Amino acid sequence: MNAIEQAQWSIAQSNELYGFERWGNDYFSVSQNGNVTARTLTAEVELMDIVNGMLERDLQMPVLLRVENILDAQIHRLHTAFHSAIDNLGYKNEYRGVYPIKVNQQAQVVEEVAAFGARYKHGFEVGSKPEIIIALSTLEEPGSMIICNGYKDQEFIELGLSAIKLGFICVFVVETPTEIPIILERSRALGIEPIIGVRIKTTVSVSGHWNSTSGDRSVFGLTATQLVDMVDLLKAEGMLHCLQLLHCHLGSQIPNIQDIRSGIVEVCRFYADLVKEGANLKYIDLGGGLAVDYTGWGSNFGQSRNYSLSEYCEDIVDTLKNTFDDYDIPHPVIVTESGRATIAYSSILIFNVLDTTIFEPARLPEPREDEEPLLTRMRDVYGNLTENRVQECYNDAHFYRNEARELFKRGQLDLRTRSAVENMFLDLLHKIADITETMARVPSDLEGLKLSLADIYYGNFSLFQSLPDTWAIDQLFPIAPIHRLDEEPRRSAVIADITCDCDGKIDSFVGTEDVAQVLPLHELKEGEEYYLGVFLVGAYQETLGDLHNLFGDTNVVSVRINRDGSYDFVKEMHGDAISDVLSYVEYHPKEMQLRHRNTAERAVREGRITARERQQIIKLFNESLNGYTYYEKED
């Protein structure tokens, strides 16, 4: 903030400040030019390069950028981490992964998961008929798993049975006892043996946001009694050998590895007793929960995680091995359904900043012999500014500012003097806020001061469309400028979107050690765009987004980074046009055009405009209707 600090700012300082290396999982860094790069094992590309490529292709901001290589690398890392844990610990079975489609159902993403996962027979977890249809039309490798969760009707079950015929390992995970008769009836009718799984309720309570997905009150899974009844029913029907998989899902984004361990121990108990009951169990499915360290703190804070991927895998394999060895039960195939951790890293939301509001004195009055006494009093406050007296100065500044407003109302102070007092007041608050920065204990009045003086940066995006979890569950995503990182960011800001909704703002950020209420940003430069990236947004954000203020889907670009450091646009999809979002809410753009034309025609008839003007007005309307819903800059 202080213009005197002209010391050389280094890229390393930016790296430390924004934490690319803490939360980036090796996928993001800063180049010598001060630009953020996306990197793979073999190559690195500046995001600004890609942005320029988008602009050349008339893909305006905001854009959701997907980097294929990152998704590829994440799937690879997941499998190699499990494989090496299995090798190192002498576990006597294999690992199988499935991707839960609900985490990001976009066709392009699901197709990429299928393509990159094929070499590991990575399968899908599905929870509805649309999702199993996606799985059946996307998976190619026979032997890949399809795990069917959720409530399944006859048709869903028939689709699953047909998957078995096609060579997939398609498992019906029973979530409620009523599904069992339908599964048995359909499989007899079609003459296809089902593979049955069962979801259990665990009793461990897991910390983090999604803790209600496990435990007694979980809406999912069978109770111990329901499980016993299920075994009896399958036994009576001579179908107990079809019960092959045990499933549990402790929750999503589990920050604490201890919770995962204790959950698994309990699942193993169920597994062992079901084996004793005569079930032909072969698979243990531990669901999702592998967390993403959004903050990079490596802690058990809800949006972090206190373990690495390899610790996660080793803890699972180790716990399973020891427990099953104790029970003298053959090791099952380990299945996990990691969604968030698989997909989060590969997407970045990029937007430009449209404008800023700053709360700073425009100019300060020069001292004068004959100045208003109130201005002199304000000057005295400056003289008292020390750590011991900040509270007093804060009170005085308010007192004189309020006094100025009162005198103005009564006509005893002119507009220029009032403006001078207001400017000095703002200046004093900034100075007080600076002092509190270094104080060990800040008086409670002054705690939010920095935040109340923060700039507002207006971003060209909709929080509700692109970052719904920020609004809904206070999810933190790392946010940083994608360029100018060789310059010191001298502003402190909060970010507002363009929905003109007071909830459309971001005022919690990933700080180095704690949640920060402001984000350091650079001053805008005349005639130059300023781009921010919101990172790790691949999971759960795209489908939950809504059409607040009718801002639609953003443009989406998928790139592949080549070994030589170049990149290819693999896919580009233009976001919603205004006519698209209008038809989502049941307008008919064709009719709208017609009615607008009639209004224009009447204006010609009644002499308000000429026929030529009518043409222009209609052209503008039609072009807008086909245009992007976000703020577009003319070139």
Ligand X SMILES: *Cc1c(COP(=O)(O)O)cnc(C)c1O
Q: How far is the CB of 200 from ligand X (least distance, A)?
A: 12
Q: Among residues 240 and 254, whose Cβ is nearest to ligand X? A: 254
Residue (of 407, 447, 403) closest to 425 by Cα position: 403
Answer yes or no whether residue 131 interacts with ligand X by CB under 6 A. Answer: no
| Sheet of strand 44-46: strand arrangement | 28-30, 36-39, 44-46
Q: What radius of gyration, in Å, describes the C-alpha atoms of the chain?
A: 30
Q: How far is the CB of 74 from ligand X (least distance, A)?
A: 12
C-alpha distances (whole Å) from 332 to each of 5, 39, 89, 271, 321 are 62, 36, 15, 10, 9
Q: Give the contact letters, 15-54, x = binds to ligand X (CB under 6 A), - = no.
A: ----------------------------------------
Answer yes or no whether residue 536 interacts with ligand X by CB under 6 A. Answer: no
Q: Which helix (H) or strand (E) holds 61?
A: none
Answer yes or no whether residue 117 interacts with ligand X by CB under 6 A. Answer: no
Contact stretch for ligand X (CB under 6 A) within 229-237, 284-292, 500-508, 572-580: 284-292
Contact 196, 233 (CB under 8 A): no
Three-class secondary structure of residue 246 per DSSP: strand
Distance CA 464, CA 552 (A): 10
Interface pick for ligand X out of 255, 288, 302, 545 (rule CB under 6 A): 288
Answer yes or no whether residue 149 interacts with ligand X by CB under 6 A. Answer: yes
Q: Among residues 310 and 593, whose Cβ is nearest to ligand X? A: 310
Q: How far is the CB of 227 from ligand X (least distance, A)?
A: 18
Distance CA 99, CA 131 (A): 11
Q: Among residues 252 and 347, whose Cβ is nearest to ligand X? A: 252
Q: Among residues 95 and 400, whose Cβ is nearest to ligand X? A: 95
Question: Which tokens is 70 given?
Answer: 């990152």
Q: How far is the CB of 102 from ligand X (least distance, A)?
A: 6
Size of the site for ligand X (CB under 6 A): 16
Distance CA 126, CA 49 (A): 37
Answer yes or no whether residue 61 interacts with ligand X by CB under 6 A. Answer: no
Interface pick for ligand X out of 97, 160, 221, 287 (rule CB under 6 A): 287
Q: How far is the CB of 150 from ligand X (least distance, A)?
A: 8
Contact 305, 255 (CB under 8 A): yes
Interface pick for ligand X out of 66, 249, 484, 505 (rule CB under 6 A): 249
Answer yes or no whether residue 104 interacts with ligand X by CB under 6 A. Answer: no
- b/e code 102-131 from CB counts within 10 Å (16+ = b): bbbebeebbebbbbbbeebbbbbbbbbeeb
Residue type, 20: F
Question: How many beta carbons lie within 10 A of that of residue 546, not counting itself?
Answer: 11
Burial class (CB within 10 angstroms; exposed 0-12, middle 13-18, buried 19+) of 92:
exposed
- Do β-strands 505-506 and 531-534 pair in parallel, antiparallel, or remain unpaired? unpaired
Contact 470, 506 (CB under 8 A): yes
Q: Looking at residue 554, what DSSP letter applies?
A: P
Cα-Cα end-to-end distance for the chain: 33
Contact stretch for ligand X (CB under 6 A) within 49-57, 281-289, 447-455, 616-624: 281-289
Own/partner contacts of 106-113, CB < 8 Å, gap of 24 or more, are 106/542, 106/543, 106/556, 107/134, 108/66, 108/556, 108/558, 108/571, 108/573, 109/66, 109/71, 109/343, 109/538, 110/134, 110/138, 111/138, 112/68, 112/71, 112/72, 112/558, 113/71, 113/75, 113/342, 113/343
Answer yes or no whether residue 96 interacts with ligand X by CB under 6 A. Answer: no
Contact stretch for ligand X (CB under 6 A) within 100-108, 299-307, 469-477, 529-537: 100-108
Interface pick for ligand X out of 114, 240, 290, 521 (rule CB under 6 A): 290
Q: Which residue is nearest to ligand X (CB)?
A: 288
Answer yes or no whether residue 201 interacts with ligand X by CB under 6 A. Answer: no
Q: Among residues 109 and 374, whose Cβ is nearest to ligand X? A: 109
The 3-class SS string of 172-227 reads EEECCCCHHHHHHHHHHHHCCCCEEEEEECCCCCCCCCCHHHCCCCCCCCECHHHH
Q: How far is the CB of 245 from ligand X (least distance, A)?
A: 13
Answer yes or no whether residue 204 interacts with ligand X by CB under 6 A. Answer: no
Q: Among residues 175 and 497, whose Cβ is nearest to ligand X? A: 175
Interface pick for ligand X out of 103, 170, 227, 313 (rule CB under 6 A): 103
Contact stretch for ligand X (CB under 6 A) within 153-161, 282-290, 347-355, 584-592: 282-290
Contact 194, 187 (CB under 8 A): yes
Interface pick for ligand X out of 19, 97, 100, 533 (rule CB under 6 A): 100
Q: How far is the CB of 331 from ligand X (least distance, A)?
A: 22
Interface pick for ligand X out of 339, 481, 533, 552 (rule CB under 6 A): 339
Residue count (the chain): 635
Answer yes or no whether residue 14 interacts with ligand X by CB under 6 A. Answer: no
Q: Give the contact letters, 340-379, x = binds to ligand X (CB under 6 A), - = no.
A: x---------------------------------------
Q: How far is the CB of 204 from ligand X (least distance, A)?
A: 16
Answer yes or no whether residue 221 interacts with ligand X by CB under 6 A. Answer: no
Q: How far is CA 182 from the centre of its chain?
A: 38
Question: Which tokens is 130 given?
Answer: 């649309």
Contact 78, 288 (CB under 8 A): no
Answer yes or no whether residue 114 interacts with ligand X by CB under 6 A. Answer: no
Contact stretch for ligand X (CB under 6 A) within 9-17, 106-114, 249-257, 308-316: 249-257
Q: Among residues 287 and 365, whose Cβ is nearest to ligand X? A: 287
Interface pick for ligand X out of 46, 112, 125, 314 (rule CB under 6 A): 125
Answer yes or no whether residue 121 interacts with ligand X by CB under 6 A. Answer: no
Q: Is the dihedral of CA 74, 80, 81, 86 positive or negative?
A: positive
Interface pick for ligand X out of 62, 123, 289, 552 (rule CB under 6 A): 289
Q: How far is the CB of 340 from ligand X (least distance, A)?
A: 3
Q: Is the dihedral of CA 126, 279, 274, 327 positive or negative?
A: negative
What residue ranges bind ligand X (CB under 6 A)? 100, 102-103, 125, 149, 249, 252-253, 287-290, 337-340
